Amino acid sequence: LVVEDIQELVTEINETSLNINHEEMFRCSNQDVQTYRDLRVPAQNADQFSHFALSLYNLFFERTTGLIKSKNVQGETTQDAAQRSLERLPNDFRRKRTVIRIVDALRHHFGKGHLTRLDSFNVSGRGMHIEDVLQKYLGSKAHPRNHQFLDLQKGILEDVVQFLRQIRDYIDKQAITSDKDP
């Protein structure tokens, strides 16, 4: 049921966002079916968990990619040709949020996005180390055993639902505010 909650929240966020900004916050894609399917599969091992981690990354980083907004010399907001992950999310819900940092760490570690043990890999500022993620959800920095991946998955999904509820509440408040504007 948790994944259905995620789908429903994404739909609610997108519908309200369309009503306010005429733009979805989470772009729909032909990968959506596979993304939600991977989130539903109970992770019993590292391989299944890597599919889960990559699907979360797709949901939050790929589907929220948007044109970078900047100010021109006249102070007007413009959209550059360059795109950036998370750009469609409200500023308060981007990289500084714990869930976003967790999803990024999971992708880098379990999704083999980058080798995270090299001295040149730096997570300072915005990132999170995978051992901190493991400590948060499993109570230990040890690499998960097969029987622990499901607990890790459940804990992360609960936090994802809470995060999406916060975004929905934020966008709902924006809808009320925009209704009051002439």
Which of 162, 153, 174 minimizes the C-alpha distance to 9? 162
Quote the pTM value.
Answer: 0.84
Cα radius of gyration (the chain): 17
- Judge whether residue 66 has pLDDT over 90: no
Instruction: Please list the alpha-helical segments (H only) found in the chain.
Output: 2-21, 32-40, 46-57, 98-109, 130-138, 149-180
- 49-76 average pLDDT score: 83
Note whether 96 and 126 are within 8 A (CB): yes
**pLDDT at position 116, please?**
47
DSSP state of 111: S
112: DSSP letter: -
